[in-house]
Amino acid sequence: MTDNLVELRDLHVRFHGQRNVYAVNGIDLDLKAGETLGILGESGSGKSVTLKTLLRLLPENRTQISGDVRVAGQDVNALQGRALANHRGGVASMIFQDPMLALDPVYTIGEQIAEAVMRHEGASRAQGRARALDMLTRVRIPSPERRLNAYPHEMSGGMRQRAMIALALACRPKLLLADEPTTALDATVQIQILILLRELQAEFGMGMIFVTHDIGVAVEVSDRIAVMYAGQVVETGSVRDIIANPQHPYTRGLLAANLHGAVKGERLQAIPGAPPALETAPNNCSFAPRCLVKQESCEIALPPNVSLSPQRAVRCVHAAPVAAQTSPS
Amino acid sequence: MTIESAALLQVNDLTKHFPLSGGFFGRSAGVVRAVDSISFEVAPGETLGIVGESGCGKSTTARLLVNLIEPDSGQVILEGKRVGADMSVRDMRRHMQMVFQDSYASLNPRLTMEDSIAFGPNVNGMARQKALALAHDLLFRVGLEPRRFAGRYPHELSGGQRQRVNIARALAFSPKIVILDEAVSALDKSVEAQVLNLLADLKKELALTYIFISHDLNVVRHMSDRVMVMYLGQVAEIGPVDSLYSSPAHPYTRALLAAMPSMDPDKRTMEAPLAGDPPNPINPPPGCRFHTRCKFAQELCATEQPVLHILPQAHHLAACHAHIPNSGHSGLEGRA
């Protein structure tokens, strides 16, 4: 028995239908209780798909999942019926980019939170309402008593996001999955939500996986970062290591493209080309066509996953100690 | 009549209010003050960045400039000629082109890339063969091999490639000014950098002037010579990029900058600079529009509207009572 809250072992996700998409191609990830992991990647990198496997939210008839998915010791792929319903919202909970789609438009915020508490904990309606009020207070919604009776459309964007967080955390899940929850928000509201999530995570002691395409956002909330590209984790490490000493050429490119501290008038070190379409399973390094330091071997076989320290791994042939000396740009 | 000015583009008191229907017996239920009496200039060859949160009027401003929305009042003066009076809207649009955020929605799905680019010059009198040759030349310029891309349809291209086509199309009239309205915001970071490099190259080669609208302060800082910060339809602060980023004066500009993620795990943002969401531009607060969220607000701010004023210690303008000498505001220091 390990103390990991989440364990992903050799996870593969393939969508079939008119077009085959190899969305996730062999992922190993761990999350300890109370830890925050940021998954960083661009659109199509498989970061949201990975997150959704943890709640079994992918359409079953079009998805082929292989590998081990464990949350709090439970095999998520084996969950059925009642057990699956208890898992969703009880053990692990998810917040989304667009709260308008995640909240039910015909029920008030108070009713929605109360319903979740009644369903999961067998509480009475009054207890559910009391929990709803408590949650709205904890997510710092002003005048929460009044907001209990508000419908989602009556709230502003930032407030809806807070209401969705309150709903997700109402049953005290051990794991919070956040899928780009601040991407649609204005900058001054985004930072409020990030700080709130950080505080709630510490308060409830839950584990959190935070998916984002924005490095700055990942740095604000995460303890560790996993960088994804073409359905694989190409680099993992502590936030400090990833920012100060990125090893994978893709991570370096991303950091350079972030414009933080870029000198005005100077050309940006852009990564050439575009991400692959993933219509076949990768049998070599997916990043090789865009990589400035690729070797012959990169196009022949999958790159090794080089472990640099217990917390740090890089999926690149260059990840030997030699590469550590080249300074990150 | 021409107006003497060194500016390529001069904007005077531009205003647009959208009335809201749905009031009692069809009467107006209120007014969205999307853009409220803003004035600025753009010098030839410079890039003016416009930043602000949703609802601040930055996109409406762009659309007013090229007359996609008709302004209620105010003047747009291009090269000394007043648009609508000394220069027709049609002529103005030859000199001022726009690139939008949604690269897919901006292209006709039934036209190939070469046809999309050649369409404008063609209907403006250029022979079809010549227009197609121009289209190929422009595709090459934006980094898309004409032989591979000219015959493709929008759905056959990636987002970054489509946005390159949109840029090529905007350049088909050899415009003087290109307005980029969140043109890179929908792109992935690695592709965004490519397009930003392309824009910088094109600017140099073709001596273009940009109006660069974005919510991303890092991108705006990289691209712009001068920056204009908007809040609820008005200009809060405007000036050279270095001065504005190094010594922001308006409390809103300061909050925007402080709200940027830190990129340093040891210096995380511990306190949000502002509480709550940006207010609705419907019936905005009187006086300084920011006073409802400003921690330095005093009585004066709720009643009197501040005007843009040159800052004593910096080289730019801000509309804040605290920075106007003898305004009655005690200033930003020693409080809060």
ipTM: 0.85
From the CA of B76, how many Å to the nearest CA of chain A?
29
Contact criterion met (CB < 8 Å) for B261 and A186:
no
Q: Chains A, B: CB contacts under 8 A, how many?
A: 123
Q: Is residue A154 part of a domain?
A: no
Give the pLDDT of residue A265.
Answer: 67
Confidence class of residue A255 from pLDDT cuts 50, 70 and 90?
confident
Contact criterion met (CB < 8 Å) for A219 and B278:
no
Q: Is residue B275 part of a domain?
A: yes
Q: Which residues of A touch B221 (CB under 8 A)?
A: 259, 264
What does the pLDDT look like over A38-56, one tens digit per residue?
999 988 899 999 999 999 9
Q: Is residue A25 part of a domain?
A: no
Give the alpha-carbon dihedral of A166, A171, A173, A178, to 10 degrees.
Answer: -30
Question: Which of B213, B231, B228 has the alpha carbon at shortest distance from B284?
Answer: B231
Contact assessment for residue A314 and residue A248, using Cβ atoms and an 8 Å cutoff: yes
Q: Is residue B212 part of a domain?
A: no
Task: Give the mean model confidence (pLDDT) for residues B88-110.
Answer: 94
Confidence class of residue A266 from pLDDT cuts 50, 70 and 90?
confident
Q: Is residue A239 part of a domain?
A: yes
**H/E/C letters for each residue in B179-209?**
EEECCCCCCCHHHHHHHHHHHHHHHHHHCCE
Q: Which domain covers residue B301, as residue numbers?
A: 229-336
Is pLDDT above 80 for A260?
no
Interface test with B, best of A19, A186, A239, A254 (most B CBs within 10 A): A186
Q: Is residue B110 part of a domain?
A: no
Q: Which domain covers residue A198, as residue numbers?
A: 33-58+79-103+174-329
Q: Is residue B273 part of a domain?
A: yes
Confidence class of residue B336 from pLDDT cuts 50, 70 and 90?
very low
The total of structural domains in chain A comes to: 1
Mean pLDDT value across chain A: 90
State whether residue B26 is helix, strand or coil: helix
Q: Is residue B144 part of a domain?
A: no
Structure token digits, residue A15: 């969508």
Least confident of A21-30, A251-260, B45-54: A251-260
Structure token digits, residue B254: 């300061």
Least confident of A262-266, A267-271, B51-55, B61-65: A262-266
Q: Is residue A87 part of a domain?
A: yes
Mean pLDDT value across chain B: 91
Question: Which of B323, B289, B317, B247 has the alpha carbon at shortest distance from B39?
Answer: B317
Of A240, A253, A267, the CB nearest to B190: A253
Confidence class of residue B81 from pLDDT cuts 50, 70 and 90?
very high
What does the pLDDT look like over B302-324, one tens digit per residue?
999 999 999 877 789 999 999 88
Q: Which residues of B touch A190 (CB under 8 A)?
A: 259
Q: Is residue B255 part of a domain?
A: yes
Question: Which of B204, B229, B177 has the alpha carbon at shortest distance from B43?
Answer: B177
The total of structural domains in chain B comes to: 1
Q: Is residue A130 part of a domain?
A: no
Interface test with A, best of B58, B188, B212, B215 (most A CBs within 10 A): B188
Indicate the residue type of A247.
Q
Q: Check which CATH number belongs to the domain holding A193 and give it.
A: 3.40.50.300
- The arrangement of strands across the sheet holding B47-51 comes to B96-99, B177-181, B209-213, B47-51, B226-231, B234-240, B317-318, B309-310
Contact criterion met (CB < 8 Å) for B189 and A239:
no
Q: Is residue A275 part of a domain?
A: yes
